[in-house]
Every structure is written in structure tokens, then in C-alpha cells.
Structure 1
Amino acid sequence: MVTSDGPAAGFPDPTHDRPAFRAAMRLRRRALAAAQPDAGDRLAAHLERLPPAASIAVYRAIGSEIDPQPLAVALAARGRSLCLPVVVARDAPLLFRRWGPGDVLEADAAGCPAPLPLAEVIRPDLILVPLLAFDARGGRLGQGGGFYDRTLDGLRRHPSPPGFIGLAFAGQEIAAVPMASHDQRLDGVLTESGYRAFP
């Protein structure tokens, strides 16, 4: 639900208390997840609207993040090469290691499920990312670790940069996400309601 007055009406001002704003957005996402347990399946139903890509980075849902597993299974069935992000150090860009549904995973440096170290490192054509909130200009509020922002900052200097697509519940949209100079904007967002590209 898009709010009309400020980034998120009734929530803490993110310019003064960003941690409290993130906490409020987590509560909103948790409520959306509880109300829509089939959102991951509905997300996958719109996969044909994603930008074309041979290799796609997905993620393993943690907590109330919208679950991309049904989407990953459908993409793999269509011959797409999949990978998962891997945190190798707290202040380093992410690596992307080849992965397929059912592959064995282990915790990376941030404790997130990741492919084993022997898995091939690849550069995806499309990166699908979780988020806490997004807006109609491609603004994205992440968890606060900065991993995707650091990673995209480097990848977007490449002559053929990957697409950067958010996966979210439609209700995570807000009027305006406050963006810092290092924050990376989304090229589009895929929700249980469909896909939308941003300018």
C-alpha cells in the first residue's frame, strides 16, 4: 500500500531514525507474509514478465522475506542458470556461486545459506533481491548491511551490467524511500501482483 504523506505515514521518520524505520518495515512485511502464505507461488506465476537473462541470482528467504523458491524452480525448469549470493566478508562485495534447487548449502560469513565453496563463481545477468520497502522510482530499503549496494556499485561499472530486480509483497511499496548517495536503485520489482519496470 502506497502512503500519501511522507515515506510511510504513521512510521518513524527514516531521516532521523533509520533503524526504527527498518524495524517498522519489518513488522509490515511480517504481517504481509502472514496474510499471504501463497505469495511465493503467485510471484512465480509472473516469471515470463522478468527481463530476459541466461543466468539469474536468486536468494534463500530468511524470516518474512517473500519466498523465491517457487520462482527458482520454475526458472531452472526453463533452463536458466541460477546462483546464490555469498557473503565472504562483512565489508566485501558479494560473490555469486552456481546453485540449483536441491543443492546442499552451508552458512556463509553472515550466517546465510550459501552454495559450497567448490561451486563455480559466476557473474549473473539478472540479480533478484529481497527488500524491506520500495518506491515507484526504484528506491530500495534493504536490511542495512550494504552488501547488494557495494556489489552493484562495482557490477554497474561493467560494459554489460546485470539487471537489479526487487522481489517483494506489493504492500511493501511506500511513497518515497530515502536514498543515500551509495544506495543503488532497482531496475524493476516483481510482486505477487506482477512485474513493474522503473525509469
Structure 2
Amino acid sequence: MLRREFLSVRNGLTADDVRTAADTLAVRALALPELAGARTVAAYVSVGTEPGTLPLLDALRGRGVRVLLPVLLPDNDLDWGVYAGEGSLARVQHGGRMALFEPAGERLGPGAVTAADAVLLPGLAVDTRGMRLGRGGGSYDRVLARLEEAGAHPALVVLLYDCEVVEHVPKEPHDRPVHAVVTPSGVRRFPGGARAARGM
């Protein structure tokens, strides 16, 4: 129900709304200390009316950052490939779900994400504790579990619209808070997510 509500608001956005927000999100995200020093960033290609990521991906790549993008596997886990520009993306239809844009090149394996200095997570909302509401497929729950198992501690950042930072979202025992949320109006950090203070 909650997911449907957030998706309904997003579906009311125009292409201009999405494009303008994407440009602003890129500027704000690029100023984050967590991304300023990153050599490898795991990200994703936004689709539809999701907060846009392409301007940010291109800017990171322009800085010489190695950008990893996910490839959805049949069991909903994620493999990874390197972003080599918008022309390197393939539109892939996964069953009856929306088509995703995935890197067309070499597959690096699900464990490649553990090398990332920062991970940009998709989401529908984040609450005041830093808990993220995803789409419900569980792909990024597996990513976060893999990072934990590997002892990897990248900065976890979510890009959202302003109205998607809310008081409370449901929390499952396996959920982990993110370090920061970037919206068109600014950046919000969360307790327990002081990545920048630890020298990143």
C-alpha cells in the first residue's frame, strides 16, 4: 500500500520535472565527501519517473570514477558491469516487469560490489532513522548482506524527491540504515552513518 502511494506520486511527474530534478541531484551528490574521494561507485540507471541518475553517472565517469551498474539475475540477485557511457547500456525486459537499462559489457560477478567506496541505492522513501523503503524485490537486501559478509563498509546513499523523506517506513530485522539521502533541496545524514567523519 505504502509503495503504491509513493509510486502514484512519482507517476504524476512530467518529463521536465524528472529532468530538472536529475540535474539538481547530480550537483548535490557530486558535492558529497563520500563521492568526492570515491574511486569505485556502485550505482544504477534510473527508469521512468525514478529520481534521475544519468547526469550523475556521466559526471562520475568524467571524474575518472569506475562506475558499476547492476544486472538483474533470474533469482533477483545482482551481477555488475562497468558503465562506459549511455551508449553502452542495453534495454533489458525482465518478464512482466518494467525494462531496465543494464551494462552490455563484461559481467564482474555479484561480489564486485564489495569493491565500491560508495553505493547508490534505489528507493521509494527514507525515514528519519535512515531506513530505506525499496520496491520489494529484495535485490538490494542481498547486496547489503553481501557487503556485510565481506566486511565492506561503503557509504550508502539514496537519491529521492523531497516528499519521499518521511517520518517512518516499515523496518524488517535485516534492514540497515543508509548514511545519507540526497534530494533536490539538499542532503540529510543519519545517526550511525557518519561515513564522512571516518575519513571517507
Q: Does the pair score TM above 0.5?
A: yes
Partner amino acid for 2:159? L
Measure the CA separation in 2 of the matches of 1:99 and 1:55: 11
Q: Deviations over 1:145-173 (max 9, x none)?
A: 01001111121222332222111111111
The alpha carbon displacement at 1:108 in A equals 7.0
Measure the CA separation in 1 of the matches of 2:117 and 2:25: 20
- Corresponding residue of 1:85: 70
**Residue 27 of structure 2 is aligned with which of 45, 62, 70?**
45
Partner amino acid for 2:151? P
Partner amino acid for 2:100? C
The answer as to 2:61 corresponding to 1:73 is no
C-alpha contact (below 8 Å) 2:126/2:169 kept by paired residues: yes
Cα RMSD after superposing both structures? 2.1
The alpha carbon displacement at 1:132 in A equals 0.9
Q: Deviations over 1:16-38 (max 9, x none)?
A: xxxx2211111123345668330
Partner amino acid for 2:27? A
C-alpha contact (below 8 Å) 1:28/1:172 kept by paired residues: no
- Corresponding residue of 1:6: none
Normalised by the length of structure 1, the TM-score is 0.80
Unaligned runs of 5+ in 1: 1-19
- Superposition pairs for residues 16-31 of structure 1, below 5 Å? 20-31=1-12
C-alpha contact (below 8 Å) 1:33/1:66 kept by paired residues: no
Aligned residues: 179
C-alpha contact (below 8 Å) 1:29/1:65 kept by paired residues: yes
**Residue 160 of structure 1 is aligned with which of 152, 163, 168?**
152
Normalised by the length of structure 2, the TM-score is 0.80
The structure that is helix-richer by fraction is 2
C-alpha contact (below 8 Å) 1:99/1:119 kept by paired residues: no
Unaligned runs of 5+ in 2: 192-200
